[in-house]
Chains A and B, each alone.
Chain A
Amino acid sequence: MNNDIRVGVFVCDCGTNIARTVNVPQVVEYAKGLKNVIFAEEGKWSCSVDYLAKLQEAIKEHNLNRVVIASCTPRTHEPLFKKTVKEAGLNPYLLEFVSIREQASWVHMDDPVRATEKAKDLVKMGVAKAILLELGEDFRLPVKQDCLIIGGGMAGMTAALNIAAQGFKAIIVEKQPQLGGLLNKLDRIAPEEVSADAMVKAKAELIAQNENIKVYTNTEIEDIQGYIGNYKVRVKTNGKSEEFDASTIIAATGMKEIEPVGQYGYGDDSRVITQLQLEGLLKSNGLEAKRDVVIINCVNSKNEERGCCNIGCLASVKNAMALKTINKGTRVHILYRDLSIVKDELSYLKDARNMGIKFIRYTEERQPEVSREDSHLMVRVYDLLLGRELKIPADLIVLTTAFEGDSTVDQLKGQLKVSTNPDGFFQEAHVKLGPSDFPSDGLYLCGCARSPKNLKDTCEESMAAAMRASIPMKVGYLEAEGIVADIDLDACNDCGICVKNCPYGAIQLVDDRPNVLKALCKGCGLCAADCTKDAITIVHYSDEQILAQVEAALEEKAQEKIIAFCCHWCALGAVDMAGVSRLQYPPNVRIIRVMCSARVATKFVLRAFELGAAGVLVAGCEFPTCHYIVGNYKAEKRMERVTKKRLAQKGYDPSKLWTAWLSATDGPKFAATMRAMTKQLNLE
């Protein structure tokens, strides 16, 4: 026993919210009897300003070096208490938070005796963990003010200008001889009808004048090594290699048309072209007057393989109008599936119809067909409204094709250690809440490199990516909370699993040995749980600490108890929701918080059964949500494929290990799970 450890336990009444059900004075007395507890006290409102001041005094007066707060939920109140103990001179990582309101008083209202017993257990578990807590620190990685932008289309140019406007350095690498990307091939930009060339020219001039922007054209990326604040980039310009440093990287590599070779006569007949080729003809005024033009939309889009191309409808209507403007007499048919222009759609389509452009809808099942009759091209399409097939002659057929990522993406994704979808569009960190970020800090994306989109959306995404990249550059460092992985290289056998599995690229090989870039680590614990050598410790959620909680919980009446490992985010959210909604469930469960369900190692579960637990629950976020990208998936897989097998091997009944994947509103589901488990395990 370590006698230097001096724990203070502060048990809150929460007015009567806790005290009405849980016998708080009893819990306090109980706490005083726990080992290393120097001080324990009841507080009416622990979070009130007065009490926080008292708490700080108590820390100083009793020389406390560990603090256990037993009150509401860490999800809302932990930051407040962390701040409080920090102000009292205590390292905030030496605080442990125990939830006796959401997990006891609110959910076992008609069983004060067992609610009190549970509260005591929770406090005991908290103290057991607190004793083992270690000093934590926040980690910082320095970040300088230079950003590499891959791709010099409108996305890359816009991002560069925004980065440079803050006085930071932007380095654009463009593989083509000039900036502008797709816009160099377009005629006019709808719906504003401005010239694409003029737009590129205006931006390129601003870039040329800006001394914070360095442009490499005709240049390819050869190699990228490192991490945020410390990327080493090697590029090759006209056969000559050059190296430079960058702190952040934005991928703005755009997209290209998927050539519809062999479809609708494309490739065999020069009168069948793509939308982009039509743009080229319009741009160079190279189009002779046409009599009959048929535009076929959704070529290779909206099928099993891929979705809506997002800009095809706009481009087709724009170009149909351009054809009509060149020659009013040209008959233009647009064969479409669904019209999806969205912004200003109604007025835009009205204008098109007023110009005499004809729209014919077709379905996925009944695609148009192109044939050659004499020297003519003939398009057959089934008109759903008329209920019969139409034959439309054409001297030009324009295919609105689908898109894919740039041809260099395959190589780039290896260099950046990021992923793409099957069409080569980069995968963002989170479709909704992290649209401009890659999972690893320091890497961002924008424009058509993410998915096809119109120019306005491209520019908005570029400003967004610039902002995301600018935050660490402005702050000067990237900071991570102290809950991080730590590898004991003496125990490590260099198997490489952790390097491969880390969703954030936070574990990299240095001299062939794994090295945790602490500032990049989010502390999910996936690596530690899967480490076969037990070589990885998660600070604040170490094996020792978690096992201590398991042992404390099961010291008495183990056979009546269920150990539940709940992730901090949604599973604990559901527990809290059950509490707020005062849903009543049996008090057998003892919850142990982990940051992510992926932290739950097989040995934790095994230990619980060894000590006689009636059952174990592992609860994480409902699929597909996970605050660590894939943690819940990995946890489920581990429990089903590894843990249950191990339990069976050791002679424990694997059906006593349950999993639950909960959303933060799933209070009812959590309560129902507890009822079902208690029943199944014959604990009633």
Chain B
Amino acid sequence: MSDSILIIGGGIAGINAALNAADYGCQVYLLDDTASIGGMMARLDKTFPTNDCSICIESPLMYRVDNHPNIEILTNCEVRRVNRNNGNFEIRLVKKARFVDADKCTGCGTCVEACPVSVPDELDGKIGGMRKLISIPFPQAVPNASIIDPRCRYGKMREQGACIGGCVVDCSQCRECPIALCVKACKDEGKDAVLLWQADKPMDIEVKSIIVCSGIKSYEPSTGTYGYNVYENVITNLQFERLMNAGGPTGGEIVRPSDKAHPKKIAWIQCVGRGDKELPYCSKVCCMITAKQVIITKEHDPSVETLVFYNDLKAYGKGFYDFHRKAVEGGTRYIKGKPFDIFEHPETKNLTIRFEDLDKGELMEEEVELLVLATGLIPSDRNKRLARVLGIELNEYGFFKEKEPLNAPLETNVDGVYLCGGATGPIDISESVVQASAASMKAVIARR
């Protein structure tokens, strides 16, 4: 339909933009290139500054999107080409093969149980999270359907026992597969939803405006930064977030990678990566992420000792400073200063941190059992391609550029293409939601 709106990115920004526009009466396509909508919020434990449980507040919105008559969800889907025609955008999408018929799949999980091969999860692999080659992204996923790791389908996992046949061709060559365990399990259930020969499918749509909500990624420090990837018990704040999460790989147990023991002393280092070529900016939310994580750590076990190395404290939003105070009052030590050296104790795998306490002007050291690197937020790795396809500009950091931030916030250099959420830069949830409503306002006005 020509007066519809395409929303690219199904995180909390995209979900809100979609619901606003759809409630207003527009036809909306909500597109994400991963297997489920939800974005970063679906992976978080609690959320600052109130410590609301993240998925608890996000999943009702996800179900609303799913059941909204005006919204079509397109997951595992990419934007390939955009043409301007009579003020409309003609868009070529590609629905990537899921190898599962999402309409037939009920998310019952029988295929997942049947699959014998586990691989490290993209997100949780470093802290022991595994997933099957056929999997459901997370329990509240929308759509609630499995997806097959393409590596499996090409027969590459046969040696690991993914299926029992000794086929000489890859799965895409057969219309019917009697031997793949997931296919069989699904058939036994009376469904026939696993389709190993599914191929990518093009899809054309025409829309009046586009909202880009491609979000953020957590920065992955380079190997060696404060011992990251070298010492086992050095993890990022996103990995720590997953450890805290009852829906995460440890069922909410905060355990350290080396021995799965509950660490009794944990340190956080702020601004990791900042100043590097990659992060020449402040990500602004990391101070609050750490405040949240120390508060929740103490809620799990008040006897755990927590310390934070910080630079300038960013507590800019409503209720943020109170939240920080809560962290301090809970007994967390905040130390102004940047550590300059970390080394690991070979037997205990504990870490000694050397640092200068800038408030005291002293060189000091602390030994901790787990070290969390509070890294910043970086743009989605797909932004460059998306910018090219849409003809919009990126700023020097790789976020999308606003044409005139003050006079025309959230507008791009292409009329009819708007931004919100992490697509514009580091941001928290509340601001993402505000921008999502604002961008949907722009989009519906542009439709007129």
**Contact across chains for A467 and B20 when beta carbons are under 8 A apart:** yes
Quick one: which of B294-338 are within 8 Å of A by CB? 312-322, 325
Interface size class, chain B? 35 or more
**Contact across chains for A431 and B139 when beta carbons are under 8 A apart:** no
- A132: interface (CB < 8 Å): no
**Contact across chains for B425 and A625 when beta carbons are under 8 A apart:** no
B17 to chain A: closest residue by CB:
A467
- B284: interface (CB < 8 Å): yes
- B391: interface (CB < 8 Å): no
Chain B residues positioned under 8 Å from A468 (CB to CB): 20, 437
Quick one: which of B98-142 are within 8 Å of A by CB? 104, 106, 108-110, 139-140
Quick one: which of B419-437 are within 8 Å of A by CB? 425, 428-431, 433-437
B240 CB, min distance to chain A CBs, angstroms? 16
Contact of A627 with B53 at beta-carbon distance under 8 Å, contacts A470-B441, A577-B139 already known: no
Chain A residues positioned under 8 Å from B57 (CB to CB): 430, 432-433, 625
Once bound together, how far apart are the Cα atoms of A46 and B318, in whole Å? 47
Quick one: which of B387-438 are within 8 Å of A by CB? 405-407, 409-410, 425, 428-431, 433-438
**Contact across chains for B281 and A345 when beta carbons are under 8 A apart:** yes
Once bound together, how far apart are the Cα atoms of A307 and B314, in whole Å? 11
**Contact across chains for B312 and A338 when beta carbons are under 8 A apart:** yes
**Contact across chains for A461 and B438 when beta carbons are under 8 A apart:** yes
B379 CB, min distance to chain A CBs, angstroms? 15
Once bound together, how far apart are the Cα atoms of A569 and B55, in whole Å? 11
Chain A residues positioned under 8 Å from B282 (CB to CB): 342, 345-346
Once bound together, how far apart are the Cα atoms of A492 and B315, in whole Å? 49
> Contact string, B48-87, partner A, CB cutoff 8 A, digits 1/0?
0111110111011101000100000000000000000000
**Contact across chains for B108 and A342 when beta carbons are under 8 A apart:** no
Chain A residues positioned under 8 Å from B317 (CB to CB): 310, 451
**Contact across chains for B23 and A668 when beta carbons are under 8 A apart:** no
**Contact across chains for B433 and A467 when beta carbons are under 8 A apart:** no
**Contact across chains for B442 and A570 when beta carbons are under 8 A apart:** no
**Contact across chains for A79 and B67 when beta carbons are under 8 A apart:** yes
**Contact across chains for A432 and B430 when beta carbons are under 8 A apart:** yes
B104 to chain A: closest residue by CB:
A48
Our pick among B284, B406, B434 for the contact of A342 (Cβ within 8 Å) is B284
- B263: interface (CB < 8 Å): no
Stretch at the interface among A367-375, A535-543, A659-667: A659-667
On chain A, the number of residues with a Cβ less than 8 Å from chain B's Cβ atoms is: 86
Chain A residues positioned under 8 Å from B53 (CB to CB): 570, 622, 625, 663-665
Contact of A467 with B139 at beta-carbon distance under 8 Å, contacts A432-B429, A460-B410, A580-B109 already known: no
**Contact across chains for B437 and A467 when beta carbons are under 8 A apart:** yes
Interface of B is mostly: loop
Contact of A665 with B438 at beta-carbon distance under 8 Å, contacts A343-B425, A460-B410 already known: no
- A272: interface (CB < 8 Å): no
Once bound together, how far apart are the Cα atoms of A17 and B105, in whole Å? 13
Our pick among A194, A387, A455, A665 for the contact of B245 (Cβ within 8 Å) is A665
Once bound together, how far apart are the Cα atoms of A199 and B280, in whole Å? 30
A165 CB, min distance to chain B CBs, angstroms? 5
B281 CB, min distance to chain A CBs, angstroms? 6
- The total of Cβ contacts below 8 Å across the A-B interface reads 223
**Contact across chains for B140 and A664 when beta carbons are under 8 A apart:** yes
B428 CB, min distance to chain A CBs, angstroms? 8
A463 to chain B: closest residue by CB:
B438
- A459: interface (CB < 8 Å): yes
A101 to chain B: closest residue by CB:
B108
A20 CB, min distance to chain B CBs, angstroms? 9
- A38: interface (CB < 8 Å): no
**Contact across chains for B430 and A431 when beta carbons are under 8 A apart:** yes
Chain B residues positioned under 8 Å from A450 (CB to CB): 318
- A415: interface (CB < 8 Å): no
Once bound together, how far apart are the Cα atoms of A569 and B315, in whole Å? 31
Quick one: which of B175-213 are within 8 Å of A by CB? 188-191
Once bound together, how far apart are the Cα atoms of A17 and B185, in whole Å? 12
**Contact across chains for A385 and B358 when beta carbons are under 8 A apart:** yes
Once bound together, how far apart are the Cα atoms of A384 and B359, in whole Å? 6
Once bound together, how far apart are the Cα atoms of A474 and B445, in whole Å? 12
Once bound together, how far apart are the Cα atoms of A337 and B109, in whole Å? 53
- A442: interface (CB < 8 Å): no
Our pick among A15, A80, A434, A461 for the contact of B191 (Cβ within 8 Å) is A15
B447 to chain A: closest residue by CB:
A166
A207 CB, min distance to chain B CBs, angstroms? 15
A189 to chain B: closest residue by CB:
B406
- A408: interface (CB < 8 Å): no
Contact of A463 with B406 at beta-carbon distance under 8 Å, contacts A308-B316, A338-B314, A666-B246 already known: no
Our pick among A16, A385, A387, A569 for the contact of B56 (Cβ within 8 Å) is A569
**Contact across chains for B320 and A308 when beta carbons are under 8 A apart:** yes
Once bound together, how far apart are the Cα atoms of A668 and B20, in whole Å? 35
Once bound together, how far apart are the Cα atoms of A429 and B435, in whole Å? 17
**Contact across chains for A460 and B144 when beta carbons are under 8 A apart:** no
A384-B358, A435-B430 given. 6 additional CB < 8 A pairs?
Answer: A15-B108, A432-B50, A467-B437, A470-B444, A663-B246, A665-B55
Sample 10 A-B pairs with CB under 8 A, ordered by A number: A15-B189, A16-B110, A48-B104, A346-B281, A432-B429, A433-B12, A464-B437, A464-B441, A471-B23, A665-B247
Q: Which 8 A-B pairs have the closest CB atoms?
A: A307-B321, A15-B189, A663-B53, A464-B437, A463-B438, A467-B441, A665-B247, A451-B318
